[in-house]
Amino acid sequence: MSKALNSLVERVRAAREARTPLAIRGAGTKSFYGGAVTGETLDVRELSGISSYEPSELVLTARAGTPLADIEAALAERGQWLPFEPPHFPDPERPGLRGGTIGGAVAAGLSGPSRSSVGSLRDFVLGATLLNGQAEVLSFGGQVMKNVAGYDVSRVLPGSLGILGVICEVSLKVLPLPPASATLRFDCSEAEAIERLQAWGGQPLPIQASAWWQGALVVRLAGAMAAVQAAVHKMGGEGIDPVLAQRFWNGMRDQTDEFFAESRRALADGAALWRLGVPAGTEPLQLVGEQLIEWGGAQRWWVTREPAQRVRERASRAGGHATLYRAKDKAQQLGAGGSVFAPLTPALDRIHRELKKAFDPVGVFNPGRFYPGL
Amino acid sequence: MNAPVPRDALAAAASSAGVGPAVAEFPDPGPAERRSRQAEVVTALSAVLPTSLLLWQEEDTIPYECDGLTAYRERPLVVALPETEEQVRAVLKVCHRLRVPVVARGAGTGLSGGAMPHRMGVTLSLARFNRILQIDRRSRSARVQCGVRNLAISEAASPHGLYYAPDPSSQIACTIGGNVAENSGGVHCLKYGLTLHNVLRVRGFTMEGELVEFGSEALDAPGLDLLPLVVGSEGMLAVVTEVTVRLVPKPQLARCIMASFPSVQAAGEAVAQVIAEGIIPAGLEMMDRPMTAAVEDFVHAGYDLKAAAILLCESDGTAEEVEEEVRRMTEVLSGCGASRLEVSRDEAQRLRFWSGRKNAFPASGRISPDYMCMDSTIPRKRLADILTAIGEMENRHGLRCVNVFHAGDGNLHPLILFDANRPGELERAEAFGAEILETSVRLGGTVTGEHGVGIEKIRSMCVQFSPEEREQMAALKRAFDPAGLLNPGKVIPTLHRCAEYGQMHVKKGLLPFAELPRF
């Protein structure tokens, strides 16, 4: 066992015995996400470095504290990438720079613009090593594409916000960068944009990402050169210069685009930023505020002053759910007993509590970060 | 494996295979007490189901005694054939109250004994849940009952230009519920993913009879993402009654390259090279010469019988895309020493290329009285190593083995040929199979890529997972099913049985990356 891992195991063992909660931390770039956490900081950045990378296997294994940027650079050198495009947020320790670790990316489970076409971060997890609440180091999954031996614990970690244990190492499926891409822009209303995206989705077009805001629908195509060219010809619209397009999609991925920049001002003024996950074809939602639509219609960002209950009700009526993503005072937005993530059905709530107990019996990890009491 | 084994032999095999908990928690009380328990369960179930939906006479329950792994057989106490979700809920509530094990079953095509009945349990056949509830062209999804056949979904979606991508070889018969239980793959999953990647939402019941939904028709759902646990859980966490799957546009065109190689090493190298060039083929399959000979004799597809190995490499997409990709694939394959290359001219020829691959199992049945199909996965670059190792094992165990692979995924299906009527051959075949699995784990792989653990590979789980990892899985199961009634005795071996299996099988002892922690 490496020294870094050993010291984490010791910390967890001590915390379990003393029943002291721990707040797991990587680069600390996503501390805004989820509920307020209590506990002593457990920094995992000592656990760092790419353990193995085999381009012809399409598999990369890295320790949790490895900076995302290091991984992306190693992949880019071999013409590959993380297709789920994890967002990069400002690094609290290096003003002006963006950071994040691979462990943090997995724990948050956030995926970028191409999620609706290539899959989510979870879809690219092949295996993980987890330090559970009993201070045991466990490996699940592996470094191969197909693996159905036992329960797929590694794939329940994405988005678990650390409540099941400390992610120590992950193996990810990676993909070759698409040989060609192009970005098109269309002027249309929200309802038209949703309709067009559904119609295109039913055709064999290489649509990789989409974004609609204030009457402009921007679509990224990616794939074989011939397929991209044929689609550009077929779909029409206005072509966007590749350099500008790259900047735009990076802004979508990192949530720095104008919509998000403006949302910060509204947040300071008491509004909230909500992330709604809904079936892609859901008709325009009746809320008051500013909206950005991604993922072919399946991800809708709202900056609004509407009460939490109304936002949640709109989302669930459409068959989706709403997360209070950012707010100056989340507790105030949610009211007493409210949770940042949409409430669970009683059956799921029971399973969540039992699962938490199965992995972290005394409740050491990240109390409050996900749901109250978990 | 297709050789029936008498029950006594099975009981011995099962106990050595580490299915201890089933025996311990649900003791077999002997015929008289079993009959009285059966009467009790039938009476209780008759209160919630019409008796026409219950089977318990021996002659009626025989058809349920095994799944596709026919060597392991057991008669269930009762077979229940509910037709509505309300009836499923009611059966589960009764079984939970009486502490009766429940084994859910779809079409029974599974290859690892996951649906093998429990002697003191109820087999819950979901075959009557066979309705397609909705094909939504706009959202490109299908909502279907769990007993709908895999291929039936694609057939129903076809008029909309859509299909359901995962295509296990048994797709004409296997059900989507079974696919969810096993996280089934197929020949196209390198590009299109496994069942997990194509399922949006699963609806079902907990063992207590509580309705529960995992996932949603949006791209995510609040809370932990439990879909990856439920998909592939082999019926041990919940009973699934309804599934919403993602549909994808049918590719306009697919073409397949058949490439011959003078050695399996060269073919293995070509597989790695295709991927290294940044190409993700729609399918990438490999057969060795003995396998090719067996299938050629069966389907007459025109395979190259002189080649040591052949690769089937498929491209799909728009006409322009396919043309570009086939050109790149051809270059790579030639560069890796392919001795013959043939690109399918039309759909009929493409299907002929695939016919042999899809018929590998029946073709093996023609050349040997019995065969045992393995299902391990290894890193692609170790293909040549495992083939060399299997060649040595053939000599050592005195049995032949023919090989087909989902080469793009590194998923092997070695078929060990034997004759169960010859004394000792079954045991030798089992030892051969176990050695393939252990070698796969040692090469950095896994004991099952897509067929599941079930009863067949439960012992091999001891090789792949540490006692703490297995206990974590057991705790996870208890979180969903505290009473341990859903499909007991499958997937997770007990600590005790693994200890018995042998101290020499040190978990992960020979894995690469020795600097990583191993316990």
Chain B residues closer than 8 Å to A80 by CB: 278
Using the beta-carbon criterion (under 8 Å), do A204 and B513 form an inter-chain contact? no
Please tell me which of the candidates A52, A151, A202 has its beta carbon nearest to residue B476.
A151
- Say if strands A238-240 and A299-304 run parallel, antiparallel, or are unpaired: unpaired
- Say if strands B122-125 and A216-223 run parallel, antiparallel, or are unpaired: unpaired
Determine the Cα–Cα distance for residues B409 and B380; give it in Å rounded to an integer. Answer: 7
The yes-or-no verdict on residue A120 having pLDDT over 60 is: yes
Residue type at B377 in one-letter notation: T
Pairs of residues, one from chain A and one from chain B, whose beta carbons lie less than 8 Å apart: 279
- For the stretch A127-150, pLDDT in tens is 999 999 999 999 999 998 888 899
Render the burial of A71-101: b for 16+ CB within 10 Å, e for the rest: bbebbeebebbbbbbbbbbbbeeeeeebbbb
Query: What single DSSP character describes residue B196?
Result: H
Q: CB B183: neighbour CB atoms within 10 A?
A: 25
Cα→Cα distances B84→B89, B146, B215, B252, Å: 9, 11, 22, 39
End-to-end C-alpha distance for chain B, whole angstroms: 34
Using the beta-carbon criterion (under 8 Å), do A59 and B190 form an inter-chain contact? no
Lookup: tokens for A18: 């003393």
Nearest to A340 by CA among A127, A158, A159, A171: A159
Cα→Cα distances B178→A123, A291, A334, B204, B299, Å: 20, 41, 41, 13, 28
Where helices occur in B281-359 by DSSP H, the ranges are 289-299, 319-335, 347-358
Using the beta-carbon criterion (under 8 Å), do A341 and B222 form an inter-chain contact? yes
- For the stretch A226-258, pLDDT in tens is 999 999 999 999 999 999 999 999 999 999 999
Chain A residues closer than 8 Å to B467 by CB: none
Nearest to A68 by CA among A53, A52, A48: A48
- For the stretch A275-317, pLDDT in tens is 999 999 999 999 999 999 999 999 999 999 999 999 999 999 9
Determine the Cα–Cα distance for residues A88 and A30; give it in Å rounded to an integer. Answer: 9
| Rg over CA atoms, chain B | 23
Q: In what order do the strands lie in the sheet with A207-213?
A: A238-240, A180-187, A216-223, A207-213, A289-294, A299-304, A272-277, A321-327
Backbone φ, ψ for residue A268 (5° rounding): -60, -25
- Cα atoms in the 13 Å half-sphere on the side-chain side of B334: 9
Determine the Cα–Cα distance for residues B292 and B310; give it in Å rounded to an integer. Answer: 8
Helix (H, G, I), strand (E, B) or coil at A222: strand
End-to-end C-alpha distance for chain A, whole angstroms: 29
Per-residue pLDDT of chain B (519 residues; tens, 9 = 90+): 444 443 444 343 444 333 333 333 677 788 999 999 999 999 999 999 999 999 999 999 999 999 998 888 999 999 999 999 999 999 999 999 999 999 999 999 999 999 999 999 999 999 999 999 999 999 999 999 999 999 999 999 999 999 999 999 889 999 999 999 999 988 888 899 999 999 999 999 999 999 999 999 999 999 999 999 999 999 999 999 999 999 999 999 999 999 999 998 899 999 989 998 989 999 999 999 999 999 999 888 899 999 999 999 999 998 888 999 999 999 999 999 999 999 999 999 999 999 888 888 888 888 999 998 999 999 988 888 998 899 999 999 999 999 999 998 899 999 999 998 999 999 999 999 999 999 999 999 999 999 999 998 998 899 899 999 999 999 999 999 999 999 999 999 877 777 766 543 334 333 333 333 322
Please tell me which of the candidates B162, B280, B470 has its beta carbon nearest to residue A202.
B162
Helix (H, G, I), strand (E, B) or coil at B303: coil
Backbone φ, ψ for residue B409 (5° rounding): -100, -5
Determine the Cα–Cα distance for residues B318 and A206; give it in Å rounded to an integer. Answer: 10
Residue type at A216 in one-letter notation: A
Residue A180 · residue A225 · CB < 8 Å: yes
- Sheet strands (E) in B227-281: 239-246, 248-249, 253-261
Helix (H, G, I), strand (E, B) or coil at A281: coil
Compute the 3-state secondary structure of chain B and give helix, strand, coil in percent, each to the nearest 5: 40, 20, 40
Using the beta-carbon criterion (under 8 Å), do B224 and A159 form an inter-chain contact? yes
Residue type at B478 in one-letter notation: R
Determine the Cα–Cα distance for residues A212 and A196; give it in Å rounded to an integer. Answer: 11
Lookup: tokens for A125: 């997890």
Lookup: tokens for A325: 């993503």
Helix (H, G, I), strand (E, B) or coil at B511: coil
Is the Cβ of A237 closer than 8 Å to some Cβ of chain B?
Answer: no
Q: In what order do the strands lie in the sheet with B132-136?
A: B132-136, B141-145, B239-246, B199-205, B211-215
Provide the angle, in degrees to the nearest 10, between the axes of the packed helices B347-358 and B360-367: 50
Please tell me which of the candidates B228, B280, B450 has its beta carbon nearest to residue A122.
B228
Question: What is residue B514's predicted lDDT score, i.e. its pLDDT?
Answer: 31
Query: What single DSSP character describes residue B84?
Result: S
Chain A residues closer than 8 Å to B219 by CB: 115-116, 120, 277, 280, 295, 298-299
Q: Sign of dihedral through CA atoms B196, B200, B205, B210? A: positive
Is the Cβ of A132 closer than 8 Å to some Cβ of chain B?
Answer: yes
Determine the Cα–Cα distance for residues A288 and A304; give it in Å rounded to an integer. Answer: 6
Determine the Cα–Cα distance for residues B68 and B175; give it in Å rounded to an integer. Answer: 13
Determine the Cα–Cα distance for residues A144 and B198; give it in Å rounded to an integer. Answer: 19
Shortest alpha-carbon distance between residue B34 and chain A (Å): 31
Determine the Cα–Cα distance for residues A272 and B218; give it in Å rounded to an integer. Answer: 22
Output the average pLDDT for chain A: 96
Residue type at B2 in one-letter notation: N
Determine the Cα–Cα distance for residues A233 and B251; give it in Å rounded to an integer. Answer: 19
Residue type at B296 in one-letter notation: E
Chain A residues closer than 8 Å to B224 by CB: 156, 159-160, 164, 352, 355
- For the stretch B445-503, pLDDT in tens is 999 999 999 998 998 899 899 999 999 999 999 999 999 999 999 999 877 777 766 54
Angle B234-B236-B237 from CA coordinates, rounded to 5°? 115
Using the beta-carbon criterion (under 8 Å), do B229 and A156 form an inter-chain contact? yes
Q: Sign of dihedral through CA atoms B169, B173, B174, B176? A: positive
Enter the pTM of the model: 0.93
Shortest alpha-carbon distance between residue A107 and chain B (Å): 11
What does the CA dihedral B368, B371, B375, B379 come to, rounded to 10 degrees? -40
Shortest alpha-carbon distance between residue A302 and chain B (Å): 17
Chain B residues closer than 8 Å to A133 by CB: none
Contacts of A266 (CB under 8 A, 6+ apart): A290, A303
Nearest to B487 by CA among B24, B101, B204: B101
Helix (H, G, I), strand (E, B) or coil at A217: strand
Shortest alpha-carbon distance between residue A261 and chain B (Å): 25
Question: What is residue B25's predicted lDDT score, i.e. its pLDDT?
Answer: 60
Determine the Cα–Cα distance for residues B198 and B166; give it in Å rounded to an integer. Answer: 8
Q: CB A332: neighbour CB atoms within 10 A?
A: 12
Contacts of B422 (CB under 8 A, 6+ apart): none
Chain B residues closer than 8 Å to A343 by CB: 222
Question: What is residue B502's predicted lDDT score, i.e. its pLDDT?
Answer: 53
- 3-class SS letters over A343-371: CCCHHHHHHHHHHHHHHCCCCCECCCCCC
Lookup: tokens for A87: 């967002």
Helix (H, G, I), strand (E, B) or coil at B330: helix
Is the ipTM value over 0.90, yes or no? yes
The yes-or-no verdict on residue A65 having pLDDT over 50 is: yes
Render the burial of B465-479: b for 16+ CB within 10 Å, e for the rest: bbebbbbbbbbbbeb
Determine the Cα–Cα distance for residues A204 and A235; give it in Å rounded to an integer. Answer: 12
Residue B80 · residue B122 · CB < 8 Å: yes
Q: Which residue has the tokens 């003393």?
A: A18
